A and B are shown apart, each in its own frame.
Chain A
Amino acid sequence: MKFGIVRFPGSCDDIDALQAASRVGEAVLLWHADHDLQGVDAVIVPGGFSYGDYLRAGAIARFAPVMSEVEEFAREGGLVLGICNGFQVLCEAGLLPGALLPNVSLKFVFRQVELEVVRGAGPFTGGCEAGERLSIPVKHTTGRYYAPDVELDRLEAAGQVLLRYVPGHNPNGSLRDIAGVCSEPRNVFGLMPHPEHAVDPLSGSADGLRIFESMRSHVEQHVLA
């Protein structure tokens, strides 16, 4: 199992994601300017402030050379995980539904939040039980998940909402407390919380590891088998 972590200019949590993924498999960095995914089994678009996020979070990164490879990989069913800024990039690229708007507070927020697993199945949450709670930190300025009501109804009905903030833990005003959504074919997943920052009990929680372990199990059972 080989993870590839995209590195844009301005990525901040790229090494964190690399180290977290290394706990469950092999992991390499993918340079933004290269049209090369190095044969990875899953791509992680990490957090940070790609290109400074001066225009709109994720708006420039989605045009980076490596992203055309990532989009093709996703269309062919490859696993793509977008964390925080990576979630914003995947929404900008049209690989995930909806958009991330500025937090209701209009301020950056760091907080350890409780998440509820809505769907304990599929490539990203297959190792979790529905209803289970995960303690994972958030840190962002632009994390308010938004989509029109009709679209939200459709996403919920199709089981594309994988994670929700537990009541009282929504840090940004996300509609319907949505913390993470996947694509219709379920192979692309984006979330605002940072599972790569919850992989070691010493730093507060190891719940985030469940996401990476789910990805490994899926790849081992469905791709490498």
Chain B
Amino acid sequence: MSSSTSSLEERHRQLGLTDGEYARILERLGRPPGDVELAMLSLMWSEHCGYKHSRRLLRRLPKDGAHVLMGPGENAGVVDVGSGLAVAFKVESHNHPSAVEPFQGAATGVGGILRDVFAVGARPIAVLDSLRFGDPGVSERSRYLLEQAVAGIGHYGNSIGVPTVGGEIYFEGSYEQNCLVNAMCLGLAPHTRLIRSAAAGPGNVVVLLGALTGRDGIGGASVLASAELGEGDEAKRPSVQIGDPFTEKKLLECCLDLLDHELLVSLQDLGAAGLTSAASEMASKGGVSVHLDVGRVPLREPGMEPFEIMVSESQERMLCVVEPERVADVLGVCERWEILATPIGIVAEGDGFQVLDGGVVVADLPVSVLVDDCPLYDLEPVPFDGALYEAPSALLTGDESPAETLLALLRSPNLASRLPVFEQYDPIVQSRTIRRPDEADAAVLMLPDSSAIAVSIDGNGRRVACDPRRGAMEAVYECSANLACVGAEPLGLTNCLNFGNPEKPHVAWQLVEAVEGLALACEQLGVPVVGGNVSLYNEAPSGPIFPTPVVGMVGKLPSAARAGRLGFAFEGDAIALVGPFEPSAVGSELSKLLGRAPVGELPAADAARIRIAHQAVRSRVRSGAFHSAHDVAEGGVAVALAECCVIGGLGASVRLPNALDPFGEAPGRAFIVSGPREALAPFVVIGEVGGDALAIEGLLELPVSGLRDARDGGLREWV
């Protein structure tokens, strides 16, 4: 152990620890840490691993629900879906690596979230992505990030054979320097295969599975994920990990095979902070000690220092605990899958994390200091009601006709068809997908008993920038609305909180308000939060990103055959507007095109009426009474109608209720539905499906082909 105190005091700052945090380490240990210990502590106490600025806040989110099998704290949340099956899911960010190296950053973001899901014993069955970039029309860098991130996601997901079934992409100036890449994964498991990460059983063996350990990603959690981006980020490229989906495919099959043979006591993926984080989390949850010998870890390059081995973020690795008499069987299964498996340590009594190099102890820390003693900071929020963000440049003057305005909205990168991106992903491998992107508001995956699960991911940073609390509530409403459109009832929710620097009072206020909004909306709709992720310090010198809580929701529907579609289906069907809808121009897509800054209060929401509307749509999609259902989101009723026409390949004649702003927004409240006139009688019937044009009385008439051309063209030139 090194004891050169003066140089260590310099180093703690280089490693991202404050002087106060270092003093706390000295106090807890009663001695200066050695260099391996300091490296381990700096990562475990980083924002990314320690949740220093968010842990207290997250306690506000409701966690209990009738279907929850595993809540926050495990590698992924798990809900029961009936017939002895469970669905595990989680969303996680890989923002900073993607800003530095978008292809590998996005690819390993997918790889990491897949490992979280198979770490609980579930086979990954679907991926969704939530992406944010600067404006592709003006920024070459944003076009590069978009193209490379999409290619990276496809590279990993397609190669490993997990379908990418949905997602969302938005372009705003505030993401110009700091793009967002959030990946969500769902997995399916029999209840009997679910496994937790807590280490147990002194004398049991700790086995490292998967790829060789190299120098890639060293310090990624503290270097990239816990500080603002700035100049000189090129030099951080060595901190970005490189993905190998082929190894992960073998690792995935191998882990599920090990679990099917009941050979493991516990399982944990290696993500941020590598072995340090994985082993200390396992020990902490199990209330045991762990002793690892870095000398046994198979290395990709010679001469790696013990601290490098302990913090390496090399991808495609897992850590498991095995009873001694089963180690031979474990190694046998791994050999069949051509997966390297190496016993590197043991579980022991106590509260110690001991790292050996050969016979020499190079670190010996209490697990509780690593995991529990990380300081938690209270936020110091200060409300902000001015314009924190610049107004975008105006693309429309406001003098355009409604027809011109609608076409401009359909062409805008935020609303245009996502098919040019989705065509680069495999949405059907594993043969469960019955609603692909653009067929319905949520992806739908069939289960073996002919029921199905549905999943949607949503978040609109511009609206949260206007009004953090109501904007966050809308993200939950919209997810639930999307599920209702396919006939699914929510089971649980995961979220990724992408925010700026929480030490700044206005960002702290955004974060506090948004979490309160999420909590309120989840309580109103009765949806538990089963897990999530926080990504802070998403700032560039020009300022913070829009506050961007991303919500992923999973639901269930009884009959896969009855899953809803969004496009109009039959000539002569009536069209109705369902739900409490009082839209406004604040934070709308049109307000952006008109060059307005994201300020102003969003429309209030009546939770009871929203619940009734969601239930009405859900039950009538399930019964087949509605032939189509689509939620009214960005671009308002006019855009929603245009989408129903384009996707269904049918026109419509509509008369909007008096004084309804055709482009005003209030996401998550209202739906455009179609069906036989008698089925729609209880609702506000606004028109009829038919012909080959969308006609809105007194407003506009446009051929469906023209709508399609506008919508299809918006993104194609950028990807």
Tell me the A residues contacting B by CB distance below 8 Å. Answer: 9-13, 15-16, 19-20, 48-49, 51-54, 107-111, 137, 139, 141, 194, 196-197, 200, 202-204
Contacts and interface: CB of A to CB of B under 8 A. Distances in A.
B73 to A, nearest CB: 32
B423 A109 contact: yes
Contacts of B424: 107-110
Contact of A137 (B338, B428, B430): B428
**Interface of chain A, main secondary structure:** mixed
B426 A202 contact: no
Residue from B161, B431, B436, B561 having most chain A Cβ neighbours under 10 A:
B431
Given A108-B424, A202-B561, A203-B434, A49 B429 contact: no
B423 A12 contact: no
B499 interface: no
9 shortest A-B CB distances, which residue pairs? A12-B161, A52-B246, A49-B159, A16-B431, A139-B426, A108-B154, A202-B434, A108-B424, A197-B428
B159 A16 contact: no
Nearest to A20: B431
B151 interface: yes
Contacts of A107: 151, 424
Nearest to A194: B428
A110 B431 CA distance: 14
Interface string B412-446: 00000000001111111111011010000000001
B99 to A, nearest CB: 22
Contacts of B246: 9-10, 49, 51-54
Interface residues on B, range: 20 to 34
B158 interface: yes
Nearest to A53: B159
B337 A108 contact: no
B648 to A, nearest CB: 16
Given A16-B430, A107-B151, A203-B428, 17 more contacts: A9-B250, A10-B249, A13-B429, A20-B431, A49-B160, A52-B159, A52-B245, A108-B158, A108-B424, A109-B423, A110-B423, A139-B428, A141-B158, A196-B431, A202-B434, A202-B560, A203-B446
16 contacts: A12-B160, A13-B161, A13-B429, A19-B431, A49-B161, A49-B246, A49-B249, A107-B151, A107-B424, A108-B425, A108-B426, A109-B423, A110-B422, A110-B424, A202-B446, A203-B431
B244 interface: yes
A9 B254 CA distance: 11
Contact of A15 (B151, B154, B422, B431): B431
Contacts of B250: 9-10
Given A9-B249, A52-B244, A109-B423, A16 B158 contact: no
A49 B245 contact: yes
Contacts of B561: 202
Nearest to A7: B253
Nearest to B424: A108
Contact of A111 (B151, B423, B431): B423
A39 B322 CA distance: 38
Nearest to B419: A111
A145 B429 CA distance: 22
A21 B560 CA distance: 22
A167 B244 CA distance: 37
Interface string B157-195: 011110000000000000000000000000000000000
A186 B337 CA distance: 35
A202 B250 CA distance: 30
B426 A110 contact: yes
A19 B151 CA distance: 30
B426 A15 contact: no
A202 B337 CA distance: 34
Interface in B291-324: none
A111 B436 CA distance: 11
A196 B430 CA distance: 10
A107 B423 CA distance: 9
A51 B429 CA distance: 18
Residue from B161, B338, B561 having most chain A Cβ neighbours under 10 A:
B161
Contacts of B151: 107
A12 B428 contact: no
